[in-house]
């Protein structure tokens, strides 16, 4: 019973991490551009690109869902880029914390075959 609760909590954490990816990429975009137009394009465009890629390749009901090593590589890039983006814009602690939570979450997902 307790294991099932932990597994469900881990899946909920993965969903929250997916939302954090969008927030982090948007934050990076709005902090990175030199002009307001570039900031808006990056701040909205980066999360939109991430949504499209995840919806097509990574989501549980994705039409071209990746498996095996390809899936793992997609996850590392999808969840790793926001950690790097946060670090680049000066949010070092948030970037490192996000990366550590992702690693722990991923270990548990693979360990529990979720």
CB 106, CB 75: distance < 8 Å:
yes
Residue 19 has pLDDT above 90, yes or no: yes
pTM for the model:
0.91
Residue 33 confidence (pLDDT): 84
pLDDT in tens, 40-86: 999 999 999 999 999 999 998 999 999 999 999 999 999 999 999 99
The Cα-based distances of 108 to 6, 38, 60, 101 in angstroms read 10, 38, 17, 11
Return all residues near 75 (Cβ < 8 A) that are at least 6 apart: 58, 106
> What distance in Å separates the CA atoms of residue 61 and residue 49, rounded to the nearest whole number?
18
Q: In the chain, what percentage of residues exceed pLDDT 90? A: 96
Number of domains in the chain: 1
Owning domain of residue 48: 2-111
Quickly state the pLDDT bin for 10 (edges 50, 70, 90): very high
């Amino acid at each position: 019973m307790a294991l099932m609760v932990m597994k469900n909590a881990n899946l909920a954490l993965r969903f929250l991490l997916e939302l954090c990816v969008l927030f982090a990429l948007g934050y990076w975009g709005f902090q990175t551009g030199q002009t307001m137009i570039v900031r808006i394009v990056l701040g909205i465009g980066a999360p939109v690109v991430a949504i499209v890629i995840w919806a097509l390749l990574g989501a549980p009901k994705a039409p071209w869902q990746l498996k095996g090593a390809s899936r793992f590589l997609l996850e590392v890039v999808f969840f790793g880029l926001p950690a790097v983006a946060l670090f680049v814009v000066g949010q070092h602690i948030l970037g490192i914390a996000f990366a550590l939570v992702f690693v722990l979450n991923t270990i548990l997902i693979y360990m529990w075959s979720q």
